[in-house]
Chains A and B, each alone.
Chain A
Amino acid sequence: MSENESIFKVGQIVRKKIQKDKIGKIESINYQQGIHWYQIQLNNGQFITAEEDSLEPYTSVQSPEEQFKHFNFSDKNSFSRILSYSKLSGGYSSNPMSLKSSKTLFQPYQYKPLLKFMYSDDQRLLIADEVGLGKTIEAGHILLEMHSRAPIKSLLVICPKSLVLKWQRELSEKFFFEVEIINKSRFMKFLNDYERGNTQKIFSIISYQSIRNRDVIDKIREVNPEIDFVIFDEMHWARNEDSLTHKITQVVSEQANSALGLTATPVMIGSQNLFNILKILNPYEFTTEYDFKQRLEENKPVIQAIRHIGESQFDLALKNLEELSEDLYVNSPIYIETVKKLKGKIETKEEVLKLLRNTTELSLFSHLITRTRRRDVELKAVRRSMTMNISFTRNEKMFYDAITNYIREKYSLINNERRGTNFGLMMPQRQVASCIPAMIKIYASSRMQTQKILSSLKDEYEDDNELNNGKKNNENEEDQINELRQYIRDIKIDQSMTDSKYKELKKALDTIFANGKNTKVLIFSYFKATVFYLSEKLESEGYRNYEITGNKNSEERDVILTDFRNKNNIKILISTEVSSEGLDLEFCNVIVNYDLPWNPMVVEQRIGRLDRIGQKSEVITIINFAVNDTIEARILTRLYDRIEIFKESIGDLESILGDEISKMTEDLLSQNLSPAEEESRITQAADVIIAKKLEAKELEKQSAGLLTYDEFFKQELDAILKEKRYITENELLIYLNEFLKANYIDCQIRSSEEKFVFQMYVSPELEQKIQFSLQQQSSIDEQYFEFTRQIKKFDNRIIFLTFNAELAFNKRELIYINNFHPIVRFVTDYYRTNSKALFPCSSLKMESSDLIAAGQYYYFSWEFEIVGGRKIKNLSHIIINSNVEIVLSESSSAELISELMDNGESQKISDQSNEKAETIMNKARKEAIKRFTELSLEIEQSNESTINKQLEILKRNYDNKIDRINQTISEVQYDTKKAKIIPALKGKIKKLSDEKTTKEFEIMSRKHLDKQMKLISAGVIEIIN
């Protein structure tokens, strides 16, 4: 060949030697500087100029194995690209996609429920974490994960009315679900539409108060609407079997494909409550409470075995398992396998994990419930309390006594039934203790309407719990208030009366800010009027503050909270508890109880805003205001100090406190008690509460361990984090940016001045392409709209983004790029349709690793997919050394691959013999087949029982529905008028049985496992010392 003759010709297809994903056709050739330069049009349409040495001829697509055998290695980018792509599009069953992919602060334990849910067959779980651990977030993780696997088309969240907005906000802000709040009539309309065959799906939040209704229950039973996912918040509301709340949850649960229950109530086996709740979620699991308890007893050794395996006491675990005698356990293949394993030698952590997993699977209860306690996650903040003892001035005392006497007098006059919840009387008594000037201001005002005064008291407060829901008589309340107004006007009020409480508050605030410059303080009052008064007064005296009451809508609240969190010059937030319900204020560490609620649960909820996961301060200071010689002061010392609420969380005792508090309230108000008598009445209440608290603690101790022991999930989560079986921030950044650089170079992501914040120019072309791609996948969603809104925010089309969840959580104005962001979906979709851009083999180098000595290695990543009753899809990594030996365990191999992701670099490889490549490839294939066979065997063992269980549930579910219709038929058949509907009912039965048959057939077909394995990525690694 003469010197001027090029190796490649115009029109030939070539690719780059190092970046093997760059493939294109030669357009023209130029000879310059003694080199042949080729103008090449790439597959993505771009032109590149490349010199001859960097090119090689491209022959049609070859399998990864072929590529490996020919030592066709690409660069680091190709390595990262194909692995990230596989993770993002693969739907691997043990890679949680939602991990670190929502706007939440990362708390590992919050993923435990998700893992449980992912591994469960029936997708029903009760999350029974203690208060302040973020159950809503745990539910959000599950929702996000399930949605990423198979889009959730219909969702129903049922929660107390006061939490409706919180749910809407959290789901939208943190998890990008836009959920509509609906009422009863809207829900009925949905049911009616559904009946008429309208397929519009429901994606809503509804309160228990709205949905619990006889008509709704009947209609659901009649229509049987299919709902993908249901969440029952504060599920203890449904604990009472006779209540409507119980019935509605039961009916809705029957319709749902997946269901989550959330409660913070102590888990007590002894109580019927737990059984009732679990039965709603899992109607076919246990028939009677007796049966439930019986099974719990039988299951005990399994739980103990899990515990022992977790502690590496395998002989004890074996003993535990050998105690089991029931057929249910002993005949199961998993049992036999586990016992066999336990008798042998257990060495690797994989083996331990597998044992844990199998034993957990043996347990009958593990999949039903998850509970994390505060001490499990070491909430480190200590509660410290301070009491500001205030002596009223003579004038203040006079006014206080006047009101107290007036109320007692009135109270003794009304009849007994109404007493407990007599709003019109109870509130003024507490208000006078809260803030005298605020009270005078509104009651003495002649212009204010009585309704308004009432509303200023209530702050939308409704006692939501059905059980305590006495009927309120608004007219009566108005009358009472009117009388009181008159009474207050008649007392001679000294307008310039000093405000002793306020004076103390200022002193306290000064001390707080003197000790900690950036301390944020939360001041609580029960009353809106007090909040307004304090806010205005403090502001006028230079204490910048925000106030939140029910007068603020949720958007206003959000703005305030974001500002309060981020602005340094505003350190005080004044709020009523109702409007702060569900807010996370973990960045505050001082709470001021300007007035004291009489119910310990209300106090606990106030403190719970701060004393929750994420609290960084070691001490939470609680400052209580108590005026000497008032009921509040006595409640403080006799009740709150005794039950130690200011020392540690008392947990959610609401369901077991029962009526104790309302009885106490009633007694304190109605009877003309002397201070000593008041004290003893309060002490009595405290004793009851302490006793109940202890009882609950004791029962909990016995029960929680009995139900479930979650060692497997803890260890599995550790493994996921260690092996990076999720997409890390950095990985996602590289994944996106490599794509942008190759295809939209002017849109590449650039760092900004701030750490973790990036900027990106979004060209109209890119925006259009994203829109088109999402339209094709019909997945235009709220996250997309938010994205386009942000693009249009500035003329220069530059957006600011972050991949860091914590930063996104704190800085709401940043675009958060997670695994589900439209731009990520766009890129993944691009690779799906342009598979040539993914090259499977790479050559890498890395500077030292703790896992492996210096030298040359080969890596292989195989994808295993086995579909039966469950779908199992995994990545399995194999590392082989230059002596053709397998060198690392499966999980260590995964760790090495993740290290390479972070620290690996491209490496040029000198040619090696194809013969050796062949030998290495064979070794890898052999190992992969071995692992795949093992996995298949394992799944085969459990598949039959999984299928049978699914069939059983299906059968019971449909039989139940059909039975009910049959019952209706038998009821109406002799009623000539109603009998007309019989044909329609029969039609329904036919439809249900058809549905059942189809579904049965579908499940049956999964008895035979559908198996496949394929090599995703392979290559060579040089570890340099």
Chain B
Amino acid sequence: MRINVGLDFGTCYTKVAFFDMEMEKHYFFVFDKSKDNLGRYVFPSKLRINSDGRIFFAANKNMAFGGDTYYEFFKINMENTIRTLKINDKEYDIDDYKIVALYCSHILSKVRKYLNSKFDGPDLIFNFGIPLDHLGDNNENRERKFKLAFNLAEMMSRDHFIENADEVLEFLPILDELEREYNKIKKEELKVTVYPETIAGVATLLSTGSLSADVRYSIVDIGAGTTDVSFFEFTRNSIPGGKFHVYNSNTYNVGSENFVENDVDKSIKELRDSFRVAFGKTFSLAKEKWSNDFHLLFLGGGTRGDLREFTKNTEITIPSGNLFRNYINPTPQELYIPDNIVDCIDKEEESWNENFDILSIAYGLSYPKMMMPKYNPQVPERQRDVLRQTPEEPLTPDVG
């Protein structure tokens, strides 16, 4: 029995879905049965280390005792960060990726425990979503770090269940040990794969048959801390199936929760501008295709909050070189809800339905990477190596 677990780390919440590969059924992982609605399916993605070295998950910033180190947005800049932690008045330099590994290990332990109780000796593999700039310079390094952190978490979760108030110092040597082990394992044997979360949304769309051939799409995933924007095209010029070409994909540091310092209007303007710039790059690659008609899909919790204003009337002005400007109005695309999902194995009430816009990335990630669409980046040759983990020739999506 093989189960693929898809993990979507948001700025505020982590969402987990898993896929029974034999029966071809998806489930959303329920973190807290006592909660209603979205609360059931999410776990806060923040971590705090106390001054006495104890770790707290799901921690609230206001709960902090003096001298605590608080981790948030750790997925953005973790590639080079080393922080100094003061534990019991002694200082320790700790790589951020190790903290990420601890956090993920906690989540994975929970998932593992649950799945072991529900399935008979399941063989678990994991697919993590990572933020990825389509043409970002830092991708390679960042991806490497993420892979390391996630694999460490996976290995750790096999034998250790890190809980609230466990001591961080206890785990650091274990992590070091695991890292040495990790370097020895063949790449193909690792249980963890990563996939750009921006593209996981597309995987969802493909698996539910929401994409029509020869139509251009943009997905805007407004999360709590970041907004992911991608532009792609799905063509059916080959038989059978189709190709999936990514034109552009970016992550912006504007989300539904981090605009508070600014004002909302400014954030919206920022989003609009970013979107316009991203579109501009895409547009320059294949003008005639994009100027006609493209579909725009909004995902994520941010579409429900104050940033919702952004989702209304997205109009893009394209300077065309002469006096007249081109105005492009994308058609809104509906997010279809797939029907191969079961709430959770214990058949609880189905409230994932109403929250599918937020859970959809996790759903997409719960398809094993090998089953996910291979995307074909439409980028100039010199930048192509940035994304060389994806095969040149796109394969047919087969999900669903």
Contacts and interface: CB of A to CB of B under 8 A. Distances in A.
Contact of B396 (A37, A44, A47, A765): A47
B395 interface: yes
A45 B242 CA distance: 12
Given A45-B240, A46-B240, A47-B398, A17 B22 contact: yes
Contacts of A51: 2, 21, 368, 370
B2 A53 contact: yes
A34 interface: yes
B398 A32 contact: no
Contacts of B188: 4, 31-34
Interface stretch (A543-551, A664-672, A739-747): A739-747
Contacts of A741: 209, 400
Given A18-B23, A54-B22, A35 B213 contact: no
Given A30-B370, A39-B395, A45-B240, A18 B24 contact: yes
Interface string A10-41: 00000001110000000000111111010100
Contact of B191 (A34, A750, A908): A34
Contacts of B191: 33-34
B336 interface: yes
A746 B23 contact: no
Interface in B202-246: 208-213, 236, 239-241
Given A49-B398, A51-B2, A33 B190 contact: yes
Contacts of A53: 1-2, 21-22, 123
A761 interface: yes
Given A35-B2, A908-B23, A746 B240 contact: no
B370 A32 contact: yes
A748 interface: yes
Contacts of B189: 33-34
B59 interface: no
B187 to A, nearest CB: 9
B134 interface: no
A589 interface: no
A499 B123 CA distance: 88
A445 B240 CA distance: 74
Nearest to A41: B240
A447 to B, nearest CB: 57
Contacts of B192: 33
B398 A54 contact: no
B395 A47 contact: yes
Contact of B336 (A17, A39, A46, A750): A750
A509 B355 CA distance: 50
B233 to A, nearest CB: 14
Contact of B369 (A32, A45, A746): A32
Nearest to B369: A32
Interface string B324-337: 00000000000010
B277 interface: no
B193 interface: yes
B212 A763 contact: yes
B371 interface: yes
A745 B123 CA distance: 29
A906 interface: yes
B236 to A, nearest CB: 8
Interface in A737-768: 741, 745-748, 750, 761, 763, 765
A33 B193 contact: yes
A943 B291 CA distance: 73
Nearest to B396: A47
Contacts of B211: 746
B370 A18 contact: no
Nearest to A795: B293
B125 interface: yes
A697 B264 CA distance: 82
A545 B236 CA distance: 53
A312 B369 CA distance: 66
Contacts of A49: 370-371, 395, 398
Interface centre among A4, A39, A745, A765 (most CB of B within 10 A): A745
Contacts of B123: 53
Nearest to A741: B400
A973 to B, nearest CB: 73
B22 A18 contact: yes
A54 B3 CA distance: 12
Contact of A33 (B125, B236, B241): B125
A274 to B, nearest CB: 56
A54 B123 CA distance: 13
A937 interface: no
A746 B212 contact: yes
Contacts of B368: 33, 37, 51
A908 B122 CA distance: 14
A47 B206 CA distance: 14
A48 interface: yes
A172 B209 CA distance: 34
Interface in A761-820: 761, 763, 765
Given A31-B188, A33-B188, A47 B240 contact: yes
Contacts of B190: 33-34
Contacts of A48: 371, 398
A761 B2 CA distance: 34
A741 B193 CA distance: 27
B240 A747 contact: no
Interface string A373-416: 00000000000000000000000000000000000000000000
Contacts of B23: 18, 75, 906, 908
A754 to B, nearest CB: 15
Contacts of A47: 240-241, 395-396, 398
Given A35-B2, A746-B212, A45 B22 contact: no
A65 B193 CA distance: 43
B210 A46 contact: no
Contacts of A33: 125, 188-193, 368, 370
A163 B79 CA distance: 82
Nearest to B340: A741
Contacts of B212: 746, 761, 763
B209 A746 contact: yes
A796 B238 CA distance: 22
Interface string A843-883: 00000000000000000000000000000000000000000
Contacts of A46: 240-241, 396, 398
A741 B23 CA distance: 16
Nearest to A907: B23
B89 to A, nearest CB: 43
A907 to B, nearest CB: 9
Interface of B: 1-2, 21-24, 123, 125, 188-193, 208-213, 236, 239-241, 336, 368-371, 395-396, 398, 400
Interface of A: 4, 17-19, 30-35, 37, 39, 44-49, 51, 53-54, 75, 741, 745-748, 750, 761, 763, 765, 906, 908
Given A32-B369, A35-B125, A75-B23, 14 more contacts: A18-B22, A18-B23, A34-B125, A34-B190, A34-B191, A45-B240, A46-B396, A46-B398, A47-B398, A48-B371, A48-B398, A51-B368, A53-B21, A908-B22
Closest 9 CB pairs of A and B: A745-B209, A48-B398, A47-B396, A45-B240, A37-B370, A746-B209, A33-B125, A49-B371, A34-B189
25 contacts: A17-B22, A18-B23, A18-B24, A32-B193, A32-B370, A33-B188, A33-B189, A34-B125, A34-B188, A37-B370, A46-B240, A47-B395, A49-B395, A49-B398, A51-B368, A53-B1, A53-B2, A741-B209, A745-B400, A746-B209, A746-B213, A748-B208, A761-B212, A765-B236, A908-B22
